[in-house]
Amino acid sequence: MAFTITQLEALEQAIGSGELTVKYDGKEVTYRSLDDLTKAYNLVRGSLLASGQLTESTRTNRGPSSLAVFTRD
């Protein structure tokens, strides 16, 4: 099955909110547990990474990063 970024984002939103029901493209899926939801997320994410639709650099929950270095004089 070909997965979409929309499906991945819906799974992320459900995990973040603690909901077990995922809605996307007019469809609705209810998972039995957070563990099942997380497994589905990992499956979709892995498939998107393998197909090249998603790269590690395009999907991150982190904002811009920087490094601050302090020294004592």
pTM (2 d.p.): 0.73
Burial of 42 (0-12, 13-18, 19+ CB in 10 A): exposed
Which tokens hold the place of 31?
């998972």
pLDDT tens digits, 8-63: 999 999 999 999 999 999 999 999 999 999 999 999 999 999 998 888 765 555 55
pLDDT tens digits, 29-40: 999 999 999 999
- List the one residue out of 63, 6, 45 whose CA is nearest residue 29: 6
Query: Distance between CA 58 and CA 28 in Å, rounded?
Result: 26
Which tokens hold the place of 46?
């892995």
Contact 24, 30 (CB under 8 A): no
